Homo-oligomer: A and B are copies of this chain.
Amino acid sequence: MKDLPLPEVYKLLEPGPVVLLTTARRGRHNIMTMSWHMMVDFTPPLIACVVSNGDYSFAALRATKECVIAIPDVSLAEKVVKIGNCSGSDTDKFAEFALTPTRAEKVSAPLIEECFANLECRVTDTRFVNKYGIFILEVVKAWKNPAKFDAKTIHHRGFGTFAVDGEIIHLSSEKP
C-alpha cells in the first residue's frame, strides 16, 4: 500500500463503488458492506455515509468516531455479499472470510489488505445520525495499492446484482 494524496480521494468514491467499512472497539473489529455514501468536499475529503442503527457497526462507529473505508475490486464480490449478509454480533468477519486486517496509521479501525484502496476516516459530525443515520467523515489518511491500478469496482443494483466497471472513456472536461 502506497500513500494516496488526499485531494485524489474523491476519484475513488465519486463513481459509487460498493465499499467495506471497518470499525474497532474494545479489541473487536468488524466489517460491514456499504453502498450509501457520497463525497461532500474535495480537500480535506469529506464523505457522507448512511449507517443504520440496525447495523452492528453503528455503535462502534458512533462511540469511537473512527472507521476505515476499504474499496474492494470485483474479485472480492462474493465476500462482499457474504459480509453484508451476516452480523458482527456473532461473526468475526475477518476470520470467516479470510481477510487480513492491517494496522492503520491514524485510526484504530483496521485496513483490509486485500482491498485496492483504504481510507482512514474520522467522524466529524454526528448531528444527522439520529434522524437519517448520516455520518460525516473526514479522510485523514489514504492508501492505494499501485499494483491494482486497473481495479474494477462493483456497483450494487439490489439483492446481489452488480454492474462491474466496463469500458473507461475519456471526454474533455475542465471540471474535477
Interface on A for B, CB 8 Å cutoff? 10-11, 14-17, 35-41, 46, 48-50, 74, 77-78, 81, 84-85, 128, 132-134, 136, 152-176
| Distance of A154 Cα from B44 Cα, bound (Å) | 25
Q: Would you call B169 and A166 a contact (CB within 8 A)?
A: no
In the complex, chain B residues whose CB is within 8 Å of the CB of A81: 171-173
Q: Would you call B161 and A169 a contact (CB within 8 A)?
A: yes
Partner of A36, one of B38, B49, B136, B163: B38
- Mostly, the A contact residues are mixed
Q: Would you call A163 and B160 a contact (CB within 8 A)?
A: no
Q: Would you call B155 and A155 a contact (CB within 8 A)?
A: yes
Closest residue of chain B to A15 (Cβ to Cβ) is B155
Q: Would you call A46 and B160 a contact (CB within 8 A)?
A: no
Q: Would you call A14 and B166 a contact (CB within 8 A)?
A: no
Closest residue of chain B to A152 (Cβ to Cβ) is B166
Q: Would you call A35 and B14 a contact (CB within 8 A)?
A: yes
A128-B128, A155-B155 as given contacts; A171 in contact with B175, CB under 8 Å: no
| Distance of A176 Cα from B49 Cα, bound (Å) | 17
Closest residue of chain B to A37 (Cβ to Cβ) is B38
In the complex, chain B residues whose CB is within 8 Å of the CB of A134: 40, 48
| Distance of A107 Cα from B95 Cα, bound (Å) | 50
A155-B15, A158-B14 as given contacts; A85 in contact with B174, CB under 8 Å: yes
Q: Would you call A164 and B164 a contact (CB within 8 A)?
A: no
